[in-house]
Amino acid sequence: MKTAEKDCTEEGVPHVGRLIYMLSHQLKRQNLMPGSSTYGLTVTQRQVLRFILMESIHRDVYQKDIEKEFHVRRSTATGMLQLMEKNGFIYRQNVKQDARLKKIVPTKKAEEIRVEILENISQMEKKLSNGISDEDFRQCIQVLKQMLYNLSQDDPDYKKMTKKQGGLQENDESKII
């Protein structure tokens, strides 16, 4: 048994939370590897920027859309978007019909790296699924979605968010990072 597997088991039963933590850590480390041109964006920021770049082609994107799509709290989305704005990847544009709303718009800088971001995400997805059958990978995605749903049931902030936004439901097919 490999060390990572051995460290994550107790009497043959995997510690799922620890495995997920280790996977998350490896994703973050891959982002920081030399030779990887990521323009200072974290894995999550690249996913969010990808979402903004793709969705803004055919509709306006707002912070609430980011919160719903990535299942994050308002404060988390605010901090991430402020940093992306500071680094020149997005800007916020006032909306005529509601002064409280600000549309999130990708900058020219973001548009210029669209292809690279998509390729980077695609490579990471291929690396993650390497050696795993399509059926097993689909099953893994379903299990992870169910775990997210299970954990979200005890989170009062998440419950508020899902009431307002029609968030994740059991066996939901929505995109999750």
* Per-domain residue ranges of the chain: 38-130
Distances (CA, A) of 15 to 19, 33, 87, 132, 177: 6, 27, 38, 20, 21
| Secondary element (H or E) of residue 8 | none
Tens digit of each residue's pLDDT (9 = 90 or more) over 27-47:
777 764 444 456 778 778 888
- pTM for this entry: 0.61
- Residue carrying the six token digits 């495995």: 19
Q: What is the pLDDT of residue 1?
A: 46
Q: Which two tokens stand for residue 6?
A: 């051995």
Alpha helices in 87-113 (DSSP H): 108-112
Tell me the residue type at 3. T
Strands in the chain per DSSP E? 9-10, 13-14, 90-95, 98-106
User: Average of pLDDT values for 66-70?
Assistant: 90
- Of 57, 174, 50, nearest in space to 121 by CA: 50
Q: What is the pLDDT of residue 80?
A: 94
In the CATH scheme, what is the code of domain 38-130? 1.10.10.10
Tens digit of each residue's pLDDT (9 = 90 or more) over 111-163:
888 888 778 778 888 999 999 999 999 999 999 889 888 888 877 666 555 54
Q: Tell me how far the alpha carbon of residue 140 is from its chain's centroid.
A: 17
